[in-house]
């Protein structure tokens, strides 16, 4: 697994975002190919969320967004007039997973640094069959008991140089929103409803 961790730091350090009852969004811009993958993924991750909203055009309002699309090497998202950053912004999601395989250069072009559309962004290089939904299910289960996303990620796939994660998908993890967890508020940490939007 490849992980690029970008820490989201403020003046007082990273604040934990707690999403009490996360809503899952599914955006399929890839037609039948997307349907096959999303149905596979939802069998493993769908039950971990309070509800699921699906769309084939407009990004659904949600806390976690699974995107099924083709991204051209130019960074353009096929089947949409929106860029990847605009899809993230319009969904309001704090966690976004591009769940179809793409080359790293396509992601570099699709996710430039702009002042909007930031998320803890998982960009899939190789799903490795069912490895992606299996990994995401374990990740979201840990987040559901109050473990923040970067901590859970590192427990599942320790970021040790040269370490092989044969059972994990190959991804890039851009941790732009920092410490996000689901419904597992720790003492002294206030939960403020849905995750703030950016």
Is 190 among the domain residues?
no
Domain extent at residue 151: 22-182
Is 188 among the domain residues?
no
Is 189 among the domain residues?
no
Distance between CA atoms of 191 and 136, rounded to whole angstroms?
23
Over the stretch 106-155, which tens digit does the pLDDT of each residue have? 999 999 999 999 999 999 999 999 999 999 999 999 999 999 999 999 99
Is 12 among the domain residues?
no
Distance between CA atoms of 26 and 187, rounded to whole angstroms?
32
Distance between CA atoms of 66 and 96, rounded to whole angstroms?
6
Is 15 among the domain residues?
no
Over the stretch 134-145, which tens digit does the pLDDT of each residue have? 999 999 999 999
Quick check: 11 pLDDT over 60? no
pTM value is 0.86
* Alpha-carbon dihedral 168, 169, 175, 176, rounded to 10 degrees: -170
What total number of domains does the chain contain? 1
Confidence of residue 2 (pLDDT cuts 50, 70, 90): low
CATH number at residue 120: 3.40.50
Is 16 among the domain residues?
no
């Amino acid at each position: 697994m490849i992980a690029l961790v970008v820490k989201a730091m403020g003046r007082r350090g990273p604040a934990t975002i707690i999403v009490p009852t996360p809503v899952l969004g599914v955006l399929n811009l890839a037609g039948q190919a997307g349907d096959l993958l999303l149905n596979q993924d939802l069998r493993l991750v769908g039950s971990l969320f309070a509800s699921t909203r699906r769309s084939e055009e407009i990004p659904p309002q949600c806390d976690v967004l699974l995107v099924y699309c083709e991204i051209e090497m130019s960074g353009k998202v096929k089947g949409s007039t929106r860029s990847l950053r605009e899809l993230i912004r319009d969904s309001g999601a704090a966690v976004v997973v591009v769940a179809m395989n793409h080359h790293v250069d396509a992601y570099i072009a699709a996710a430039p640094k702009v002042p909007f559309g930031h998320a803890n962004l998982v960009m899939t290089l190789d799903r490795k069959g069912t490895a992606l939904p299996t990994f995401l299910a374990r990740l979201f289960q840990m987040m559901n008991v109050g473990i923040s996303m970067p901590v859970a990620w590192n427990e599942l796939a320790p970021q040790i140089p040269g370490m092989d994660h044969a059972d994990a998908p190959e991804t890039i993890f851009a941790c732009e929103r920092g410490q996000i967890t689901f419904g597992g508020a720790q003492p002294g940490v206030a939960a403020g409803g849905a995750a703030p939007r950016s």
